[in-house]
Amino acid sequence: MEHTNLIKATLVSEQQIKQRIAELGKQITADYKGRRPIVIGVLKGAWIYLADLLREVDLDVDVDFMSVSSYGSGTSTSGTITIVKDLSVDVTGRDVLIVEDIVDSGLTLARLKDLMRDRNAKSVEISTLLSKPSRRKVEVDVKYIGFEIPDEFVIGYGLDFDEKYRTLRDICVLAEEAYK
């Protein structure tokens, strides 16, 4: 792959990811026993995580995807999201599990959670592979977290920089030279 010299370090290895996803899959299976949740993947970053997670979940599920763009508004904690691709299923009365790659400010997920509630979902929970707690601007309750990580820009396992690096097997820290 091009530009691999811009990868500073491995933060979470493929093996660690696999092991943690197996644990999360068991937990989700137990928590939703007897129910059929709608699992919503947030594009594009979450697709690899969603694929691996659901193969560790022993339940019938419906799967759908959303794509959103976030626009922060300067220093304010408010922000809006624009729906680039909406769901093709109705979430009314359904148990919704949103699957995201990383929670940073929390704005995207806070808005998505509100949106699902406005659409009368019966329950809304979130799973994120990564969380940067030190970056939070709004509190958002995330039930299933893979790893809490420091404030570093990460790539790999679905996460990109300029559409590159998504297929790296580990989660890595991008060298600052890449975006300076």
Q: Give the residue numbers marked as catalytic.
A: 104
Shortest CB 104 distance to ligand 5GP, Å:
3
Residue 49, classed as helix, strand or coil, is helix
**Alpha carbon 73 to chain centroid distance?**
22
Closest by CA to 11, choosing from 140, 132, 164, 143, is 132
Give the one residue of 37, 41, 45, 146 binding ligand 5GP; rule: CB under 6 A: 45
Beta bridge partner(s), residue 124: 96
Using CB under 6 A as the binding rule, whether residue 105 contacts ligand 5GP is answered as yes
Give the C-alpha separation, 163 to 29, whole Å: 32
Shortest CB 13 distance to ligand 5GP, Å:
17
**Site size for ligand 5GP, by CB under 6 A?**
17
Distances (CA, A) of 94 to 38, 78, 120, 143: 7, 28, 8, 17
Closest by CA to 102, choosing from 51, 55, 46, 50, is 46
Task: Considering the complex, state which of residue 15 and residue 78 has its C-beta at the smaller distance from ligand 5GP.
Answer: 78
Task: Considering the complex, state which of residue 11 and residue 54 has its C-beta at the smaller distance from ligand 5GP.
Answer: 11
**Residue 4: φ, ψ to 5°:** -65, -20
- Region 149-178 residues binding ligand 5GP, contact defined as CB under 6 A: 153-155, 159-161
Give the C-alpha separation, 52 to 117, whole Å: 27
Using CB under 6 A as the binding rule, whether residue 56 contacts ligand 5GP is answered as no
Task: Considering the complex, state which of residue 102 and residue 121 has its C-beta at the smaller distance from ligand 5GP.
Answer: 102
Who contacts 75 (Cβ-Cβ below 8 Å, separation ≥6)? none
Residue type, 86: D
- Region 114-153 residues binding ligand 5GP, contact defined as CB under 6 A: 153
Give the one residue of 102, 121, 129, 142 binding ligand 5GP; rule: CB under 6 A: 102
Shortest CB 127 distance to ligand 5GP, Å:
13
Using CB under 6 A as the binding rule, whether residue 96 contacts ligand 5GP is answered as no
Give contact residues for ligand 5GP (rule: CB under 6 A): 45, 70, 100-108, 153-155, 159-161
